[in-house]
Copies of this chain bind each other. A is one copy, B any other.
Amino acid sequence: MAATIIDVARLCGYSKATVSRAYASPEAVSEKAREKIYAAAKQLNYAPNAIARAMVRQQTENIAFIIHEKQYPAILNPFYSPMLEAAMQEGTRRNYSLFVTTSQDIHLPNGDIYIKKHMDGVIFAGEVDIRVIEEFRKQSIPVVLVNNYLDMDGLVCISADHYGGAVQATEYLCKLGHCKIGLLSGRFSPQVSEARIEGFVKTLAKYDIPVDDRFIADIEPALEDGEEIMTRMLRGVDRPTAFFCTNDTIAAGAMKAVTRAGLRVPEDIAIIGFDDSYISRVVEPELTTVRIDAAKMGCLAMQTLFDLIAGMPVEKAHIQIPTELIVRGTA
């Protein structure tokens, strides 16, 4: 069907080796040859076959970005978007392509773990099954984990400083003079949730503010859940004057509840989010939140992966990205 390197070679009179070089290393071929070859190729609609190339070179220039099914609406997930985006750009820069898939794409008929397409490297986002990682490493495929932390020998993990971020947020609320502060905590992977909760609790302790269990909620990190729980909390006696929400989506839901109850943010209830995702700017007033530099995480993940692919040793297994408090209108 499609023209092959042989057809081109035949048409232009050069050998297929030379044709190959005209694409793989143009500078190694005389200008005259190059011209003739490209002309012949054009005439035949020839385009090099990446599969064949990958086969002999034993590398595909493909990277997989794998997201756990549970978090699957990942592309929808305003947190992962910029990460993916940055990773893609970094990949493109190096002539790599990014495969975005879920973890269900990596199983074999016999039940074994395996990545269907050959990948030069893999980025796991968020939760992962440890066995999957082990399996990949057995097959000598470099792996980096982003937005999660697992204590495996030599496994590079890139995550945000969830603890620090929670401290920044809580401290800010305390300094504002709030002395009744609630927590709307979303269910993420245990490490993440726990770190954020811990930051909150320890900071309250530092400021001698008691933790009131009635105003601590453990919910799914969705808009409706945020709204629902806040509606309920608003009815509580002696309710807090401020809430720390462990992501922006929850915070947006909480804001809705406050508004609908006829109260005002931040005058009646101050709210602070986490992630600095896109929605922090669509709500009005705009959300005060803890910024995670997701783009940086994505970029770093790719760069680290490239190093690994190039055989460079791991310098630091656990890279933690600092967070930053972004003060806007809700607290």
Identify A281's interface contact among B38, B62, B85, B223, CB under 8 A: B223
A279 with B279: in contact, given A49-B118, A51-B60 (CB under 8 Å)? Answer: yes
Which of A55, A138, A284 is packed against the most chain B CB atoms within 10 Å? A284
Q: Does A189 contact B (CB under 8 A)?
A: no
Which of A41, A108, A116 is packed against the most chain B CB atoms within 10 Å? A116
Cβ-closest chain B residue relative to A57:
B51
Cβ-closest chain B residue relative to A65:
B100
Q: Are A92 and B105 in contact (CB under 8 A)?
A: yes
Nearest CB in chain B: distance from A185 CB, A: 20
Partner-contacting stretch, out of A74-82, A121-129, A155-163, A197-205:
A74-82
Cβ-closest chain B residue relative to A46:
B139
Contact with B along A65-91 (1 / 0, CB 8 A): 000000011011010011011001000
Q: How far is the CA of A187 from the CA of B48 in the complex (A)?
A: 37
Q: Does A97 contact B (CB under 8 A)?
A: yes
Identify A47's interface contact among B41, B92, B104, B108, CB under 8 A: B108
Nearest CB in chain B: distance from A53 CB, A: 9
Partner-contacting stretch, out of A174-182, A254-262, A304-312, A317-325:
A254-262
Q: How far is the CA of A321 from the CA of B60 in the complex (A)?
A: 37
Q: CB-CB < 8 A to A256: which residues of B?
A: 284
Q: Are A55 and B47 in contact (CB under 8 A)?
A: no
Q: Are B85 and A73 in contact (CB under 8 A)?
A: yes
Q: CB-CB < 8 A to A118: which residues of B?
A: 49-51
Q: CB-CB < 8 A to A88: which residues of B?
A: 75, 100-102
A104 with B92: in contact, given A50-B118, A139-B2, A282-B279 (CB under 8 Å)? Answer: yes
Q: Does A14 contact B (CB under 8 A)?
A: no
Cβ-closest chain B residue relative to A3:
B139
Identify A101's interface contact among B38, B82, B98, B110, CB under 8 A: B98
